[in-house]
Chains A and B, each alone.
Chain A
Amino acid sequence: MLAMIVKEFRELRRDRRTVAMLVVLPVMLLVVFGYAANFSVHDIPTAVVGPGAAQAAATVAEPAFHVTEVDPAGDEAGAEALLRDGKAVVAVVTGAAPAVLLDGTQLFSTQTALAALSRQSPSARPPVRILYNPDLTTSWVMVPGLAGLILVFIGTLITSLGVVRERQSGTLEQLAVMPLRAWDVIAGKIVPYLILAAVDLVLIVAIGMGVFHVPFVGNVAVFALGAALFLLVTLGMGVLVSTVSQNQGQAIQLAFMLVLPQVLLSGLIFPVSAMAAGVRWISYVLPLTYFIEVSRGVMLKDTPIGALWEPIALLAVLAVAVLGLAVTRFRADLAPAGRARRPARPAVAQ
């Protein structure tokens, strides 16, 4: 048994990725759960609209409500639009028909707001309406995010395995000698997974709607655009992982290290707004964060593309950056430096 133990330690010493996982992962999980795992939202973006909005905003005593917009000329329709577009989670409507509107897609913010409102006396509290997810059903909020998580899994992990398999079997060398352009090979590898992931996405949404009764009230084309860009990012990540992995074990480890932060820090489980600032910045570099914004917005709130331009644009930027880097690295695998630039060589003189 001692011989086995010594052998395992020696192998581990040379397997830097596994050691990184053993050391980095627990630290990352501790930091995440310490700073990010927080269901209590302390800073709920609140809008106050209607006549006397400024005075009403000044009287908001509950510290959880962070007034970000005051619009004396606004009305209830305007307040709904603010919630639909993600500019506020709570909207207080003043005037003849006062009301408090809550964005039901922000589960934890809404629950925190409800708890804060319940501390007011009923006579002083205007009627409360929860929009988009009136029963605060968890599955309505989770399914759009899970769709993204499954796409991350397929796009990053499965794609990386597909390419690494070529390297291990020696067929990557064959491809490098064949008269195929690097882009032919990359596109040829990615397109089948793109198609499969798209089919998966349709299935997940259909099951979400059929089994969990998750609504889909928005524009399918906007959803498809966000999904397509997100897929390109995740597939690019998969190709990137494959270019730095020599075997499937390494690819799985690296893909796992890229997927796990997205599960924990993208807003899928813990609300981004509740995370400590020191950890929250990580969410802003994760593609799943933006896809969740698009998918929840379109499926649950019919958010128009104009209000989703930011996450869509960021997904596009990430897609270009990640895919571009992946193509550059993969091209190096398929063609040694300088070969593409040089013309055909003359024959060797005998």
Chain B
Amino acid sequence: MSWGLRNVRLARGGVVALAGVTVPADPGRITVIVGGDGAGKTSCLRVLAGLTEPDAGAVGRPARDRIGYVPATVGLYADLTIAENLEFTARAYRIPRAERPRKASELLELTGLASARARLGGQLSGGMQRKLSVAMALLHGPELLIIDEPTTGVDPVSRVELWRLITRAADGGTAVVVSTTYVNEAARAACVVLLEAGAVVRSGRPDDILHGIPGVFGTALSVGRPAPLSWRRGAAWRVWAPSGRLPDGVSPAEPDFNDAVVAASLAGEREGRA
């Protein structure tokens, strides 16, 4: 059984938050929703989790006790210890009393939080809070795991550890849907959904998205912008030429997934203006 959104529409206060968005959520696979601020990532996840009713479209999800959800605001109790946060979650999901210590210990070891189990949630670092919130969402072995921007504001080491947790959940058969603003994280997904202003610009496997961008890519070291469809990367400019012809002074370059995502966004903007 698979879940997700199909052609979902959502408008609030006259603003279109989602315009016919489809996001698959398949067991054992990670779907990553990528987009900038206001693209509709959180709206997608809230509809999938059942927190917001869409105006149109279909939503598939398992029963509430089979969903794990981590909001962008972390969602843990600052005045409870790590152990108490997990215990509350275990009670809320009616995990049998005999199984609670084992499950909690497993997750605390996996997240590296075992030595801090007596520390209050409000005293944890950002990375530790994120790991705890993911642990709380995994405690009951959900069939669908939904995480909103798990690595925003988190140090690089914690970011790697969080993705290890997420990947482990998918390897265990959980359908995982994650939103992120970090394009490089989307590259590890089985399916990427690129959102721009509430609409899907591209969707599919990272390789398919990469090879599905028409034209050629190049790089330039000029001081000023070398072409209208260009963006900074480090000290150089990356250039996209949908026509297949690079401007003078621009050298051909092999595109990566970052380039594909930026180009897809630019293409989406152009289609919107047209």
Contacts and interface: CB of A to CB of B under 8 A. Distances in A.
Interface string A171-191: 101111111100000000000
A345 B26 CA distance: 15
B58 A345 contact: yes
Given A169-B73, A348-B60, A339 B50 contact: yes
Decide if the interface of chain A is mainly helix, strand, loop or mixed. loop
B187 to A, nearest CB: 22
A339 B76 contact: no
A169 B53 CA distance: 22
A350 interface: yes
A171 B2 contact: no
A344 interface: yes
Nearest to A171: B75
B53 A339 contact: yes
B28 interface: no
B69 interface: yes
A346 B53 contact: no
Interface residues of B, number: 38
A170 B65 contact: no
Q: How large is the interface on A (under 10, 10 to 19, 20 to 34, 35 or more residues)?
A: 20 to 34
Residue of A170, A178, A335, A339 with highest tally of chain B CB at under 10 A: A178
Nearest to A172: B75
B3 interface: yes
Contact of A177 (B22, B49, B72, B76): B49
Contacts of B72: 170
B64 interface: yes
Residue of A173, A335, A346 with highest tally of chain B CB at under 10 A: A173
B73 A348 contact: no
Contacts of B63: 179, 344
A336 B51 contact: yes
A58 interface: no
Interface of A: 169-171, 173-180, 335-339, 344-350
6 contacts: A170-B75, A173-B69, A174-B71, A177-B69, A344-B63, A347-B3
Top 4 closest pairs, chain A to chain B, by CB: A170-B73, A179-B65, A170-B75, A348-B60
